[in-house]
Structure 1
Amino acid sequence: MATLDLADLLILKDVYRTRSITRSVENIGLSQPSISIRLNQMRKHFADPLFVRTSQGMMPTPRLESLLPRIEQALALLSPEGVQDSFEPQHSSRVFRLALAHVSQLALLPELVALLDRQAPGLRIECLDLGPATGKQLETGDVDLAIGYATELHSGFYQQRLLTEHYACVARSDHPRISHKLSMKQFLSEAFVSLDAPATVHARLDNVLEEIGIKRRVKVRVPSLLGMEKMITSTELLAILPSRVCRMLALDGSVKVLALPFTLPSYDVNQYWHERYHQEPGHVWL
């Protein structure tokens, strides 16, 4: 017998469990003569009796006892589930790399870190900006998960909606011309600071405004939210930002949140991951 197959390993395991060839017939799906023939072939293959008839049934030889752990491993490997590594977050010191939109870094990351501190205190997080390179980074495993509104992550990626967001406007609390309501006339006459973040929802904001026939007057464009609050509180510029960010900027009272005088479509904030890692236990948990 040159090689063994899955049926041979199942025979050895079940005869060991039942201590009987007869009782193994139903479990294995082979006739008793077929099992006996294959068992004899395996005895020649291993140069060992493997089982010996006793008053307690078919008892394994020491040789078979030594083989059983490897038989179990082979059966696990050949099963549809294969051998899966487990992931225990409470004991893990793994580093997860996240690509986050600037808004997500500000509004979602602190909550995520607080959650991880409770459920997986040994985990570490490394953050990168969500951008044009994120798709390639997810594909190669340099990034585990992306969070935000990504315009370029389609084929080969899974996505799941985390929340739905909408836009609002912010101005400094003591703005000389705007009180607690923003009119269309004021919107069109005031100047804005704009957040430019490629491959995110903010990159298409001007196009969305143009589609509904509105053009804002942008005086300053910045690449991140860093310094956005200071830009608003120290000038008369307005800004259109996601509502969660607007509320955060308004917490200390120096900025006020204003409803836009027109309707902009809401958008979904998603998490994205590559199909290569869809079954990996750590990714599944995250």
Structure 2
Amino acid sequence: MELKDIDLNLLVVFHQLLVDRRVSKAASSLGLSQPGVSNALARLRRLTDDQLFLRTPNGMEPTPYAQQLAGPTASALQVIHAAINQKASFDPSTSKRAFTVGMTDIGEIYFLPKLMKEVARLAPNVSISTVRNTAVNLQDEMEAGHVNLAIGLLPQLKAGYFQRRLFRQQYVCMFRRGHPLDKKTVSLSEFSSADHVVVISAGTGHGNADEILGRKKVARKVVLTVPHYVAVGHILHDSDLVATVPERLAQALAGPFELSYIRHPAKLPEIAINLFWHGRFHKDPAITWLRSLIVGLHGEGAPD
């Protein structure tokens, strides 16, 4: 027997007969006629090839097979009923929801400290996992609901996705405090003459800065290339290297690593950092809550 062959209403009648043990009482409970309940029982008997209920002086007694079906059927109907009638609400103070957010290493450095502090305050039982936007098929994973939100410069997320602008930012020139370039302005010539660390952050959109510098024929003495931004703070703190990084990352690294940053001497375009979610989950109350929390903490106009 396949599920497509079963009318859900038949299972509702079956469950009510288990409760009431009389056709007349089950019909009254369901608001059906007695012939309607009898007809449903006859259809169920044909589908299951079992009598299901036997008439006795004490009412309709379930067969062993009916008793076997009783528990799973009741549980399934309860789940369906709860799903259909659940209210669109989310209580962060009691929820144990686990969220997954796609972001880069820059995102983890910049977004997570504030976010996790607020999650601990507002939703102590909620957990968050992060995945690299480039490590999974982000479009498929978000459509399937495995990744709930994504943050970054993600031009590949278009049809079927909602997005909310968090902020626009510039690229800056960053180095240790006391570096020869640690002054109000730096010329393009001084920038080019310095030793540079370059981050090849494939698939994130931040590679555009290096491409633009190349098109502008801005020469750099690149002495170190790394695949991510995680170690940049450590590297700059203990060297005379210079890095081109997004401004929000520079803000996050400056204090802990005693770094300075200035307006970039090359004219690089601003970049937009957006929050993305799939249209299937646009009204999911839990995801709506997390979106609002992120926007409140990191959107334009959010307090520092």
1:157-196 superposed matches below 5 A: 157-175=161-179, 177-180=180-183, 181-196=185-200
Task: Give the AA of the match of 1:145.
Answer: L
CA contact (8 A) 1:100 1:148 kept: yes
Aligned residues: 216
Q: Distance in 1 between matches of 2:243 and 2:253?
A: 11
Aligned CA RMSD, in angstroms, stands at 2.9
Q: Distance in 2 between matches of 1:241 and 1:166?
A: 9
Unaligned runs of 5+ in 1: 1-42, 49-69
Determine if the alignment matches structure 1 residue 112 to structure 2 residue 118.
no
Of the candidates 250, 255, 260, which is equivalent to residue 259 of structure 2?
255
Shift of 1:94: 0.9
Shift of 1:169: 0.8
Provide the TM-score with structure 1 as the length reference. Answer: 0.67
Runs of 4+ in structure 1 deviating by more than 4 angstroms, as ranges, are: 82-85
Task: Give the AA of the match of 2:280.
Answer: R
Task: Give the AA of the match of 1:124.
Answer: S
CA contact (8 A) 2:172 2:262 kept: yes
Name the SS for the 1:241 alignment partner.
strand
Could you tell me which residue of structure 2 aligns to residue 123 of structure 1? 126
Task: Give the AA of the match of 1:196.
Answer: I
Task: Give the AA of the match of 1:99.
Answer: G
Name the SS for the 2:182 alignment partner.
coil
Task: Give the AA of the match of 1:157.
Answer: Y
Could you tell me which residue of structure 2 aligns to residue 274 of structure 1? 278
Provide the TM-score with structure 2 as the length reference. Answer: 0.63
String of CA shifts for 1:58-87, please: whole Å, max 9, x gaps: xxxxxxxxxxxx9xx99x96xxxx855532
Shift of 1:280: 2.2
Shift of 1:156: 2.1
Unaligned runs of 5+ in 2: 1-29, 36-76, 291-304
CA contact (8 A) 2:92 2:123 kept: yes
Shift of 1:88: 1.6
Of the candidates 226, 231, 237, which is equivalent to residue 233 of structure 1?
237
Q: Distance in 2 between matches of 1:135 and 1:264?
A: 29
